[in-house]
Amino acid sequence: MESSFSNEVKLIRGQIEKLFEKEFDLEAWKTLTIVVIERIFGQDSSRIKQIKDLKYDYSSWALRDASGIENNMDTCKKAGMEILEAAIFELENFGSPTTSDVSDEKLLKVDKVIEALEDELKGSEYKILKEIVSSEDTPEDKRSRLVGKLKEFGYDVSPEILAKILLFPEVSGEL
């Protein structure tokens, strides 16, 4: 049975495979692994701290012979693999925390923003904005395209949307 989180699992498995590459570089691996974990589990994930804490022991005792260096590297790789295997286990058994940990309060606020957009835009305009937001573009490109489209829709549209959002009690209570 294929996991419903197969892309995330593939990304993590790819990082596990890199642990066994001949030209393994711990710092480069940690950097990319942190990016992957942040994307899947969020930047507050405890796994990020665990990965950041992985380091070779360069003390004279650990380095006094070649086997010490090798054992130290193997220890880091094993710990990295265990962290990532636990992440895969969590995804496969409990689902993605980035989708399941969203509070009802946040969902209500998102619903209110969507409601304001739907009320103030034509159906085709709303569809265009949704397409831009869900595109693969960079955040800067998305922002630029959104601003351009909102201007095309008319200069009164954006202030109306913003006013409607700010007047929702769920939002205005936070100001």
pLDDT, one tens digit per residue, over 25-44 is 899 999 999 999 988 888 88
The sign one gets for the Cα dihedral 156, 157, 162, 168 is positive
Residue 77 has pLDDT above 90, yes or no: yes
> How big, in percent rounded to 5, are the helix, strand and coil portions of the chain?
75, 0, 25
| 1 within some domain | no
H or E, element range at 75: helix 66-94
User: Which residue range is the domain that position 27 belongs to?
Assistant: 6-100
In this structure, the answer to whether residues 86 and 111 fall within a common structural domain is no
In this structure, the answer to whether residues 122 and 54 fall within a common structural domain is no
In this structure, the answer to whether residues 139 and 62 fall within a common structural domain is no
**Paired tokens of 107:** 């969902």
Nearest in space to 54 (alpha carbons), one of 80, 87, 18, 92: 80
**Paired tokens of 112:** 């209110």
153: number of Cβ within 10 Å: 18
Q: What angle do CA 76, 78, 13 make, to 5 degrees?
A: 110
The whole-number average pLDDT for the span 119-147 is 89
In this structure, the answer to whether residues 69 and 82 fall within a common structural domain is yes
**Paired tokens of 80:** 């990295």
- In angstroms, rounded to a whole number, what is the distance separating the alpha carbons of residues 15 and 85? 10
| 8 A C-beta contact, residue 112 and residue 170 | yes
The proportion of the chain whose per-residue pLDDT surpasses 70, expressed as a percent, equals 79
In this structure, the answer to whether residues 77 and 114 fall within a common structural domain is no
Q: What is the mean pLDDT of the chain?
A: 81
Q: Which of 25-34, 98-107, 108-117 has the highest mean pLDDT?
A: 25-34
Q: pLDDT value at position 3?
A: 47
In this structure, the answer to whether residues 111 and 29 fall within a common structural domain is no
Q: pLDDT value at position 78?
A: 93
Q: For the chain, what is the total number of helices (H) and then of strands (E)?
A: 11, 0
In this structure, the answer to whether residues 31 and 67 fall within a common structural domain is yes
Q: Is the pTM of this model over 0.75?
A: no
In this structure, the answer to whether residues 129 and 75 fall within a common structural domain is no
| 175 within some domain | no
> Per this entry, what is the length of the chain?
175
Q: Which of 77, 100, 123 is the last residue of a domain?
A: 100
Q: Which of 3-7, 101-105, 112-116 has the highest mean pLDDT?
A: 112-116
In this structure, the answer to whether residues 65 and 30 fall within a common structural domain is yes
**Paired tokens of 12:** 């993590």
How many Å is the maximal CA-CA distance in the chain? 73
Domain count, the chain: 2
The whole-number average pLDDT for the span 41-53 is 89
| 8 A C-beta contact, residue 18 and residue 39 | no
